[in-house]
A and B are shown apart, each in its own frame.
Chain A
Amino acid sequence: MSLAITSAISLNPSKRVLPGFALSLGISLLFISLILLLPITGLIVQTAGMSWNEYWSVISDPRVVASYRVTLWAAAWASAFNGVVGLLLAWVLVRYEFPGKRIVDALMDLPFALPTAVAGITLSALFAENGWYGAILAEAGIKVAFTPLGIIVAMSFTSLPFVVRTVQPVLEDLAVEDEEAAISMGGSDLTVFRRVIFPSLWPALLTGVALSFTRSLGEFGAVIFIAGNMPYISEITSLMIFVRLQEFDYAAASAIASVVLMASLVLLFLINIWQAFYLRRIHGR
């Protein structure tokens, strides 16, 4: 019996755990079409009714442009902050044993589990001048809630897990021997991190930061409660989309959304290309 099975498997090397290639690819493509492509197509269809001039005037409206600036700027800072803090957290979670480590590890996903509106309200409560953090920061003359700084806080909170969760497995796979080899050759801690550890982490870290950035570009719920939403100062692009929707102007909303979508896609695409190039070298493929 077992012999028969073994020979059957060895005779037919294409047998896999998953059903046939055609079927699984078909399901994947169907899924991609229904869940990813169709909504994007919808977006394009919505904007298709506009002339190029209308489209341009919607997306280049000074207030909307100001919101791009605010959003990009805040998302950049938030993702940069997450790059540093997320790397540190992943490092601590992988490299050290301490009581409560599992709880901290589980807490990492909280920003994903929490409804973003709840996150926004909680953050604004904490960072308002009468909140726990806000009171302390106010003494130092720093205002967070209802300023652009608040946008950064909300964005980095909601997108932190992206960095931690992409860097963590790579760190786990990183051989301690590589570090030991580098140290035994006289490398200082900084050199070892910079020249040995970081180059291995770098692709994952960049992916994490990029995901964090793109997620921040689209974040609405958490930001809206802490931003203050002052025109030209702390209005994010998602709010501009929301305003257009409130005005029943779907086409304009879609037009602005298309700008965000395009920016995200271009960024993710570039990173993918760069990464493929970099990883091919490391894995020798």
Chain B
Amino acid sequence: MSIRVEGVSKRFGKFQALEPLSLEIPDGQLVGLLGPSGSGKTTLLRIIAGLETADTGRILFHGEDVTRVHVRDRRVGFVFQHYALFRHMTVAANIAFGLEVMPKHQRPSAPEIKKRVQDLLEMVQLGHLASRYPAQLSGGQKQRVALARALAMQPQVLLLDEPFGALDAKVRKDLRRWLRNLHDELHFTSVFVTHDQEEALELSDQVVVMSAGRIEQVDTPQTLYAQPDSRFVLGFLGHINVLQGDITKGRLSQGNAWISVTDQTDAKEVECYFRPHEVKLQTQPASHAHLPLKVSAVSLIGAEVRVELEADGWSSPEPWEVGISHSEYNAWQPMRGDRCFAVPEIGHLFSADKSEPELIQWQAKPPVSIKSSVVSLVHTA
């Protein structure tokens, strides 16, 4: 079932939680609402569910206006961050709840309910825990029970509010994969809220990035990542390195740092954003960029080695971060205070009067291999 949000806004007292916004969620998609806390993502989700009423606008399910339809009649499955399981009921009773409260003429027979509950329990792989109470389950198990419960009435829309927020990292990853599979299998329309960009990008067909009650960008994870169309999105999707300066004669420069932006007219207060993996570190500046840096910290945890650097002879609002592979690290072995140059491959240029960036791609120059440069660094050391 497709979901359509039309001009919905919401205000809590003096706080504008949602600016009027519209959104189209196609049938069968798994959509992530991503944003920092206070961005309005949960409010939007609750308005879609009917747990909150919008001040303006309409909500349409499959083209049908449900704005005035009570939450209990919208037939949405809703999963809460803290599970909201009924403590005094067994796991099976929790799952059966939605079926048992149906009006008499719709309600399945008792044996059928029992069977349905059993099937759902099997589906969430908790068949053996049917007669336990919620207090006896782990967090991951609880959330799976909550999911089974929400799915019991076969809703066509499944809404999840930070479904993995209260779980630890390992369980969260498993559950995330499991939800993706479940979605692919059952094909309902799902919307989930998260503040974790990794989760949003991994799980979603479409990601809706929100900030301060507005929608910043709606795209597939690939497009979103490749072409973030605002400073906010770019910044929210991971660390960014910034060069602020003025453009004169095809160069964006500040202090002793510059990059070439050949086809630009002169401009003031321009920013260029570089993502950590779109930058390489070399001992020598490249012909299109002169960005001297000094190593300030090295973090070895993870798939990559993260090198933190500070501007050397110019200024940056935040330290730079660049990822290098472990083999590169082993060859180079950077230490605090070592000097090097950043060589960007892609830059996202924001002029003062535009919110959308312009993508700059520099031709890969005759590769000054990191390895060779590293060797030379070692030499100088």
- Tell me if chains A and B make direct contact, with any CB pair below 8 A: yes
Q: Which residues of A contact B (CB under 8 A)?
A: 175, 177-178, 180-188, 191, 195-196, 199-200, 281-285
Can you list 25 A-B contacts with CB-CB less than 8 angstroms, sorted by A residue number?
A: A175-B84, A177-B80, A180-B51, A180-B71, A181-B80, A181-B146, A182-B97, A183-B71, A184-B72, A184-B150, A185-B72, A185-B153, A186-B72, A186-B73, A186-B98, A186-B153, A187-B72, A187-B101, A191-B101, A195-B97, A199-B88, A200-B87, A281-B88, A283-B135, A284-B133
Alpha-carbon separation in the docked complex, A195 to B78 (Å): 19
**A184 vs B77: C-alpha distance in the bound complex, in angstroms?**
7
Please tell me if B86 contacts chain A, counting CB pairs below 8 Å: yes
Whether B176 sits at the interface, judged by CB under 8 Å, is no
User: Quick check: is B82 within 8 A (CB to CB) of the other chain?
Assistant: yes
Shortest distance from the beta carbon of B106 to any chain A beta carbon, whole Å? 9
B98 lies within 8 A of A196 (CB): no
Q: In the complex, what's the smallest C-beta–C-beta distance from B334 to chain A, in angstroms? A: 33
Enumerate chain B residues within 8 angstroms of A191, measured Cβ to Cβ: 101
B80 touches A282 (CB 8 A): no
Q: In the assembled complex, which residues on chain B have CB atoms less than 8 Å from the CB atom of A284?
A: 133-136
- Given contacts A175-B84, A177-B84, A282-B88, whether A184 and B133 have CB atoms under 8 Å apart is no
Q: What is the interface size of chain B, counting residues whose CB is below 8 A from a CB of the partner?
A: 31
- CB of B133 within 8 A of CB of A180, answer no
> How far does the Cβ of A178 sit from chain B's closest Cβ, in whole Å?
5
**Known contacts A184-B71, A185-B101, A186-B72: does B86 contact A178 (CB below 8 Å)?**
yes
Q: How far is the CA of A161 from the CA of B326 in the complex (A)?
A: 68
Known: A185-B98, A185-B153. A180 touches B72 (CB 8 A): no
| Bound Cα distance from A54 to B72, whole angstroms | 66
In B133-148, the 8 Å CB interface with A consists of 133-136, 146
Query: Which of A185, A191, A200, A285 has the most CB atoms of chain B within a 10 A radius of its CB?
Result: A185
What chain A residues lie within 8 Å of B102 (beta carbons)? 186
Residues of B within 8 A of A199 (CB): 86, 88-89
Chain B residues whose CB sits within 8 angstroms of the CB of A186 once the complex forms: 72-73, 75, 98, 101-102, 153
Minimal Cβ-Cβ distance residue in A for B98: A185
| Nearest-CB residue, chain B, relative to A187 | B101
Which of chain A's residues has its CB closest to B101's CB? A187
- Contact indicator A175/B98 (Cβ below 8 Å): no
Q: 15 extra interchain contacts, Cβ-Cβ under 8 A, other than A181-B80, A284-B136?
A: A177-B84, A178-B86, A181-B149, A182-B86, A182-B101, A183-B51, A184-B74, A184-B77, A185-B152, A185-B153, A186-B101, A186-B102, A187-B98, A195-B86, A196-B86
Query: Across the interface, which residues of A come within 8 angstroms of B279, CB to CB?
Result: none
Is B311 in the interface zone, CB < 8 Å from A? no
Residue of B nearest to A281 (CB): B133
Closest residue of chain B to A189 (Cβ to Cβ) is B72
Contact, CB under 8 Å: B84 / A188 = no
Evaluate contact between B97 and A184: CB separation under 8 angstroms: no
Q: Is the CB of A184 within 8 A of B76?
A: yes
Closest B residue to A278 by beta carbon equals: B88
What's the Cα separation between A107 and B353 when bound, in Å? Answer: 61
Taken together as a complex, chains A and B put the C-alpha atoms of A159 and B102 apart, in Å, by 40
Cα of A205 to Cα of B92 in the assembled complex, Å: 26
A181 to B165, CA, bound (A): 18
Set of chain A residues within 8 Å of B134, measured between Cβ atoms: 284
A175: chain B residues within 8 A (beta carbon)? 82, 84
Q: Which residues of B contact A195 (CB under 8 A)?
A: 86, 97, 101
Enumerate chain B residues within 8 angstroms of A282, measured Cβ to Cβ.
87-88, 133, 135
Asked if B49 CB lies within 8 Å of chain A CBs, one says yes
How many Å from the CB of B125 to the closest CB on chain A? Answer: 21
In the assembled complex, which residues on chain A have CB atoms less than 8 Å from the CB atom of B77?
A: 184
Whether A185 lies near B97 (C-beta < 8 A) is yes
* Shortest Cβ-Cβ A-B pairs, 10 listed: A284-B135, A185-B98, A177-B84, A181-B84, A199-B88, A184-B78, A187-B101, A284-B136, A282-B87, A186-B72
Within 8 A of A (CB), among B35-82: 49-51, 71-78, 80, 82
Distance to closest chain A CB from B110 (angstroms): 16
Q: How far is the CA of A239 from the CA of B303 in the complex (A)?
A: 83
Chain A residue at minimum C-beta to C-beta distance from B82: A177
Q: Which residue of B lies closest to A192 (CB)?
A: B101
